[in-house]
Amino acid sequence: MKLHVMIAVLCLLLVSGWAVAEETPIGEPPHWTYEGAEGPEFWSNLAPEYELCGVGHSQSPIDVKDAQLSDLKDIGFAYQPSAMSILNNGHTIQVNYDAGSSITYGGSDYTLKQFHFHHPSEHIINGQSAAMEIHFVHQNAAGYLAVVGVMLVEGSADNPAYAPIFNALPAEKSDPQAIGTINAADLLPPGATFYTYTGSLTTPPCSQGVRWLLLTEPVEVSAAQIAAFAAIFEMNARPVQPLNTRELEQDNS
């Protein structure tokens, strides 16, 4: 085959998606990425169980703007120190947290399960993207999720509360490894004012019915800490999704 014919055939295969088709190992969710042929705009095509990523009307993240000021009850944080186990799941760095820490919101207790990071931030607040965003994932007894999101911005010094995590980031996909004890409360900003809306997981299967609580105050980490994460995940943020008819509220306090 002449070279130009071979190139034409190869291009055709790439365009048709043949060359990127990947067998999914049994028991593992279908593969997805943040860029290319398995990127966010194609998630819903990768597997039937990812359909909501394309057709859902309550998706996350969103562009947080024009929030309605409301008298909302505070988020009741009841975080305790916990042993941490850290892993790289191929999409982010996740820290698993022991049972016994929770938030109360809307009359429901949600237990902190894990927290993980995105670079850059997934939510955009009043037109501003942040260097990173941390998601504290909680679940209540009925199985519903509440995620507390905190923007991480570049400050002048290493953030010592985050150091045990940023010093132990697994560069490759890994099983959980113990990295000592932390109190997740130390990772939060001093203020607890927030935006809230109902959305989804920001990764496949993009399940909806997630209560999002985005703290308005950011936390500073150093350029070196951001760079340590970015060296492993250059980009692991889903683009913002339309708000549609949902309410976006900001607490009045």
Query: Which residues contribute to the site for Zn ion (CB under 5 A)?
Result: 135
Q: Least Å distance between CB 115 and Zn ion?
A: 9
Q: Least Å distance between CB 235 and Zn ion?
A: 14
Q: Least Å distance between CB 84 and Zn ion?
A: 17
DSSP symbols for 169-236: --SS----EEEEEEEGGGGS-S---EEEEEEE-SSTT--EEEEEEEESS-EEEEHHHHHHHHTT-S--
Between 113 and 158, whose beta carbon lies closer to Zn ion?
113
Which residue bears the tokens 């703007």? 65
Q: Least Å distance between CB 17 and Zn ion?
A: 27
Question: Quick one: how many helices (H) and strands (E) in the chain?
Answer: 5, 15
- Residue 34 DSSP one-character state: S
Q: Least Å distance between CB 49 and Zn ion?
A: 18
Helix (H, G, I), strand (E, B) or coil at 54: helix
Q: Least Å distance between CB 236 and Zn ion?
A: 9
Nearest CA among 197, 189, 190, 188 for reference residue 70? 197
Nearest CA among 131, 139, 132, 133 for reference residue 114? 139
Using alpha carbons only, what angle is made at residue 205 by residues 202 and 207, rounded to the nearest 5 degrees? 70
Q: Least Å distance between CB 116 and Zn ion?
A: 6
Between 119 and 135, whose beta carbon lies closer to Zn ion?
135
Between 158 and 207, whose beta carbon lies closer to Zn ion?
207
Are 58 and 230 in contact, with CB atoms under 8 Å apart? no
Structure tokens at 116: 């993980």
Between 7 and 196, whose beta carbon lies closer to Zn ion?
196
Instruction: Give dist(CA 160, CA 154) in Å, integer.
Output: 14
Q: How many CA atoms lie within 13 Å of 157's alpha carbon, on the beta-carbon side? A: 3
Residue least distant from Zn ion (Cβ): 135
Between 145 and 182, whose beta carbon lies closer to Zn ion?
145
